[in-house]
Each structure stands twice: as C-alpha cells, then as structure tokens.
Amino acid sequence: MPIYEYKCNDCAEDFEKLVSGANPDVSCPKCGSGNITKKFSLFGMSGVEKPVTSSGSGCSSCSSSSCKSCH
Ligand SMILES: [Zn+2]
C-alpha cells in the first residue's frame, strides 16, 4: 500500500497518508480541508521505473542474465 505525501492548500500543512484506492478521500488532519495537493509517493519508485535488467530477455547475443558483460 503506497504512502502519499500531501500538502494542504489552506494551512500549508504537510502530511502523509496511506491510501488504498485510486481516488482516496483525503483531508487535512490539521484543519480538515479537502483542498490538498498530492506531492509524490514515497514508494512510487518501485514498480514505476524498473532497470533494464529483466532476467534473460534483455539481450539475445549474450548468455548472461544481466547483460552487463556484453554492453
Ligand atoms: Zn489544512
């Protein structure tokens, strides 16, 4: 479950929240406002951008699984 970091547009409070759905109902814990901006996901890096080291299928001309030896 990802943690998203939000910033309240009303009181400028920064807070983090665990969300489970695509459209979570998030409000500021300080002032209760729903006028917030999602900044980024702390765990968003994992799964979005993967390194190009997919095992075995990256390169057909080498027998290594990582392709580090032929590039
Ligand atoms: Zn607020």
The whole-number pLDDT of residue 39 equals: 85
The whole-number pLDDT of residue 19 equals: 80
Its domain, for residue 28, covers 3-46
**Number of structural domains, the chain?**
1
Rounded to the nearest angstrom, the distance between the alpha carbon of 67 and the centre of ligand 1 is 49
Picking from 9, 11, 4, 12, the residue whose alpha carbon sits closest to that of residue 38 is: 4
pLDDT tens digits, residue range 39-70? 866 555 555 555 555 555 556 666 666 666 66
Rounded to the nearest angstrom, the distance between the alpha carbon of 1 and the centre of ligand 1 is 24
Rounded to the nearest angstrom, the distance between the alpha carbon of 33 and the centre of ligand 1 is 5
**Average pLDDT over the chain, rounded to whole?**
75
Residue 27 lies inside a defined structural domain of this protein = yes
The whole-number pLDDT of residue 60 equals: 65
Residue 60 lies inside a defined structural domain of this protein = no
Residue 13 lies inside a defined structural domain of this protein = yes
Query: Residues 20-49: what's their mean pLDDT?
Result: 77
Picking from 45, 46, 30, the residue whose alpha carbon sits closest to that of residue 17 is: 30
CATH number of domain containing 35: 2.20.28
Residue 68 lies inside a defined structural domain of this protein = no
Rounded to the nearest angstrom, the distance between the alpha carbon of 32 and the centre of ligand 1 is 6
Rounded to the nearest angstrom, the distance between the alpha carbon of 65 and the centre of ligand 1 is 50
